[in-house]
Structure 1
Amino acid sequence: MASIAVRPAQPRDHDAVTGPWISLTTDYGLADGFVAACHGVLARLAPAARVIDVTHLIPPADVRRGAAVLAQTVPYLPVGVHVAVVDPGVGSARRGVGLATPGGFLVGPDNGLLPAAAEALGGITAAVELTSPEWLAPQVSRTFHGRDVFAPVAARLALGAPLAGAGPAVDPDTLVRLPVPVLRRTAEGFAAEVLTVDHFGNVQLAAPAELLNGLPTRVRVAGRAAVRGRTFADVPAGDLVAYADSAGLVAVAVHAGRAVDLLGVRPGDVLPVTGG
């Protein structure tokens, strides 16, 4: 399977006249001042920009979860600059990068966090390493590149500065990419890797929703009885339902419950989905 990102977004003419937009997706949490510091840098450098907080509750250092949330969200945001920071390698030799796409810019660490979102925005048209000193904070902390590298770069891009000014060009083929999640067809259905688990405990699989179409109404997920349905209320409270989620992927939920707890799974596990 080449990609699990949602379909590419296309730039829309009206987005260009609504002013600059910046989005933030991080694992910083809300208990400290990290998010506020990033907002402050953006406000000082690009006061006209409007900032959308996608989430700051990505599990710490969970790059795969951050990549999935980012890729499934950016197509629905205004064309702008999308900053993502889930960065366990901050301060190491990993690169900071800026990516151009038909649907906007992406800024963050080169650790696999950005490529799926870039594909969702139409594909990478240019990439640079963020090294130009004049684009960064006067003093760059080794442990807070969100504030000192990524936010300053995003502000300048939002104001119209060309990406090429942020640093030397990077071959997009050299960017770090996450392993392709497991998806295989079986005689009885398919087996797919758990891609993410959302706030409600719904389990999203790395499988396109069309794979459900060839299965009967009664199915089994990891050996448990389930129904192939359209929404949660298609089954009684406490029962499993397999459905096409809002990202166009197969997901499993429990009506009025948490599928992740019932199935006892976590991201990276591979679940079989078969005719019941």
Structure 2
Amino acid sequence: MPGYGWISLTTDYGLSDGFVAACHGVVARLAPAVRVLDVTHLVPPGDLGRGAAVLAQTVVDLPPAVHVAVVDPGVGTARRGVALQTPGGLLVGPDNGLLCWAADALGGTERAVELTNSDWHAATVSHTFHGRDVFAPVAARLALGAEFADAGPSVDPASLVRLPDPVVGSGPGWLAAEVLSVDHFGNVQLAAPASALDGLGAALLVEGVPARRAATFGDVPSGALAVLADSAGRVALAVNGGRADALLSLVTGQVLRIADAS
């Protein structure tokens, strides 16, 4: 199969250890001409929802690539390692729900395989570091054009683990939605599409806190809460010059209510 000039990496490994460099090193040794894009390595440890959301919202802006994602609290257990083929690229990582939203964003899973071909893995596979010993070497071989089917046996795409669909509900003058992620700036992304704001007015209450509809952060006074459409086309909450997550004491997975203030 044709190869790829890029591999992307999304993990919860952090930046204070050598884990990310080790994955880069594996790719550099096996496929030195393939370039690596670091999406993020600061996914909160074990936060599958945050990792899945970041991955799904980023892959559409990247060149065709082999996308490696590792947020893997079940590493070393019976959970499968998989590779997914989509119209927009390949995905490699644990079968724990992390990959499927990104696969959807890239056009849907056409084929899937379980990564059981030990010839494609490190000579010794650690029970706790499959990013280095399984996923990175598999991704490097796929980027070089190795046959997708040679990575391991076929998997029914319908059997892949999926994260639960986020909660979204609405009615006259109100919207309820799950917190999908919180970014570096404290902006809160909700699972609802931006179009869900169409039925709401300009003056709002977010869990009882006054807010206003806005197009950007500076449309509200300093310290005020804005409800807007973010760059991914979802409803978001932001504080001009502050952090919406702190103001509202929100965490990922929480469901909040936005309602007309009148």
TM-score, normalization by structure 1: 0.93
Cα distance in 1 for residues equivalent to 2:146 and 2:206: 50
**What displacement does 1:189 show?**
1.6
| One-letter amino acid of the counterpart of residue 202, structure 1 | N
Residue 136 of structure 2 is aligned to residue 151 of structure 1: yes
Which residue is 2:211 aligned to? 226
Structure 1 residue runs without a partner (length 5+): 1-15
**Identical amino acids, percent of aligned pairs:** 67
- 3-state SS, counterpart of residue 60 of structure 2: helix
C-alpha RMSD of the superposition: 1.1
In the TM superposition, 1:123-272 aligns within 5 A as 123-272=108-257
Cα distance in 1 for residues equivalent to 2:49 and 2:169: 20
Runs of 4+ in 1 over 4 A off after TM superposition: none
1:42 aligned to 15, 20, 27, which one?
Answer: 27
Cα distance in 1 for residues equivalent to 2:249 and 2:18: 34
Which residue is 2:16 aligned to? 31
Residue 110 of structure 2 is aligned to residue 98 of structure 1: no
Residue 36 of structure 2 is aligned to residue 51 of structure 1: yes
1:77 aligned to 62, 78, 89, which one?
Answer: 62
**What displacement does 1:186 show?**
2.6
**What displacement does 1:187 show?**
3.1
- 1:128-163 Cα shifts (integer Å, max 9, x gaps): 000001111111110000000000000001001121
Cα distance in 2 for residues equivalent to 1:216 and 1:129: 49
Structure 2 residue runs without a partner (length 5+): none
Aligned length: 260
Cα distance in 2 for residues equivalent to 1:185 and 1:240: 21
**What displacement does 1:220 show?**
1.2
TM-score, normalization by structure 2: 0.97
Cα distance in 2 for residues equivalent to 1:81 and 1:44: 16
Which residue is 2:102 aligned to? 117
**What displacement does 1:34 show?**
0.5
Question: CA contact under 8 A between 2:226 and 2:238: conserved in structure 1?
Answer: yes
